[in-house]
Amino acid sequence: MEINKTNEIDVIALVKKLLSNKKSLCISTGISAIIGIIVALNTPKQYTSTVVLAPEISSSSIGLSSSLSEMASNFGINLDSKTSMDAIYPDIYPEIFASNEFIKNLFDIKIRTIDNSTERTLKEHLTKEAKIPFWNIPGVWIKKLFTKKDKTVPSKDGDNFILTKDEENLIGIISSNISCLIDSKTGVITISATDNDALAAAIISDTLQNRLQDYITTYRTQKAKKDLQYYKKLFIESKKEYIEAQHKYAGYSDANEDPLLQSYKTKEEQYENEMQLKYNVYAQWASQLQAAKAKVQERTPAFTIIQKPTTSNKASSTPRMFIVIIYTCIGIAIDAIWVLILKDRKK
């Protein structure tokens, strides 16, 4: 008679065997739970603040593809990447956030915390007030011990070529704590910042959305603003020349109210023609100046804040209870490996 052998595992028998060794199970579970509690209590809480932005699009342009594309391009939305002339479009906003120049400009923003209303820079906040777990302290000491002294000269204001090691580390920390996500379908921009303090996270996220808008606005309006300054200069010069021609004509006319000679009349007509010519130029540049002002306004992107940054009462980091549960499960798994596998092999 043939016996069919199977590889089935009797789970109930394994559980009974595991529970029969209550002493080792309690020791393993208890030690793991204690370690989990220590780790949970020493893991700094993280709070995340989020800002949601949406470009403003005129309702009158809905249904007109060309008008919609033109309006959307004014607000930083690239509906047709192949025909767009913009070098900065929403898809690369996250790359802007990751750039050293953008992050370095965040060093000097003023930060407050819930426990301390004194303003200090973000750089000071991260270098002096950042909370790290106690098990990372030996690694920090060892790193300082074996790291050569940084002889790099600190960068001066406006000098973005030189970065010290401390600045590089700080840029890495900030970069890992901020994010910018773009919804390609709706164009909605989601900006978030994470910090050990809820108020600091809200301030950082609010600053990020302001800096991003300023960055995009500066890029999109820089050409129009240059044209505006050029037309403004010409307008001022033409106005000055027109006023001078006007005074010259008025002075000559007052001095010769009843000219008898034709030469006086001809001279008066000459001054009058020059004044009219200067006025035409002045009026032309005045019109160009108004058009340039309208162009700057047209090129300025507008955003609607769907969700403002607020302080969060709930930490975004892993809950401490969950950490304890994970370590407890690890203890049970270790005990199961010992009881079911290693203990029998040792015998």
CA distance 79 to 61: 14
Q: What is the pLDDT of residue 206?
A: 92
Give the three-class secondary structure for 181. Answer: strand
When pLDDT is averaged across residues 30-56 and rounded to a whole number, the result is 85
Cβ pair 188, 305 in contact under 8 A: no
Burial (CB count <10 Å: 0-12, 13-18, 19+), residue 184 = exposed
Residues 6+ away with beta carbon under 8 Å from 157: none
Give the three-class secondary structure for 339. Answer: helix
Q: What is the pLDDT of residue 50?
A: 92
Task: Say what percent of the chain tops pLDDT 90.
Answer: 15
Closest CA to 218 of 296, 158, 161, 294: 296
pLDDT in tens, 262-281: 667 777 788 888 889 999 99
Cβ pair 182, 90 in contact under 8 A: yes
Residue 344 pLDDT > 70: no
pLDDT band at 59, cuts 50/70/90?
A: very low
Give the three-class secondary structure for 10. Answer: coil
Q: What is the pLDDT of residue 259?
A: 59
Q: Element (H or E) spanning 234, and its range?
A: helix 198-255
pLDDT in tens, 90-136: 777 888 888 888 899 899 999 888 888 888 999 988 888 777 666 66
Cβ pair 115, 125 in contact under 8 A: no
Residue 161 pLDDT > 80: no
pLDDT band at 69, cuts 50/70/90?
A: low
Cβ pair 232, 89 in contact under 8 A: no
Segments of 125-214 assigned E as strands: 178-182, 189-195
Residues 6+ away with beta carbon under 8 Å from 241: 278, 281, 282
Kindly state the tokens that stand for 226: 């240059």
Residue 61 pLDDT > 70: no
Q: What is the pLDDT of residue 219?
A: 82
Helices then strands (H, E): number in the chain? 12, 6
Residue 65 pLDDT > 50: no
Residues constituting the chain: 347
CA distance 236 to 14: 93
Is the dihedral angle over the CA atoms 125, 129, 135, 141 positive or is it negative?
Answer: positive
Q: What is the pLDDT of residue 193?
A: 92
pLDDT band at 233, cuts 50/70/90?
A: very high
Q: What is the pLDDT of residue 204?
A: 92
Cβ pair 77, 301 in contact under 8 A: no
State pTM to two decimals. Answer: 0.67
Question: Beta-carbon neighbour count of residue 35 at 10 Å?
Answer: 16
Lowest mean pLDDT among 13-22, 32-41, 180-189: 13-22
CA distance 92 to 120: 31
pLDDT in tens, 73-92: 554 555 544 444 455 667 77
CA distance 222 to 248: 39
Task: Say what percent of the chain tops pLDDT 70.
Answer: 73
Distance from the first to the final alpha carbon of the chain: 35
Residue 337 pLDDT > 60: yes
343 vs 48, which has greater pLDDT? Answer: 48
Lowest mean pLDDT among 99-103, 161-165, 198-202: 161-165
- Look-up of token digits 């970069």: 175
Residue 44 φ then ψ, to 5°: -60, 140
CA distance 18 to 33: 18
CA distance 298 to 83: 19
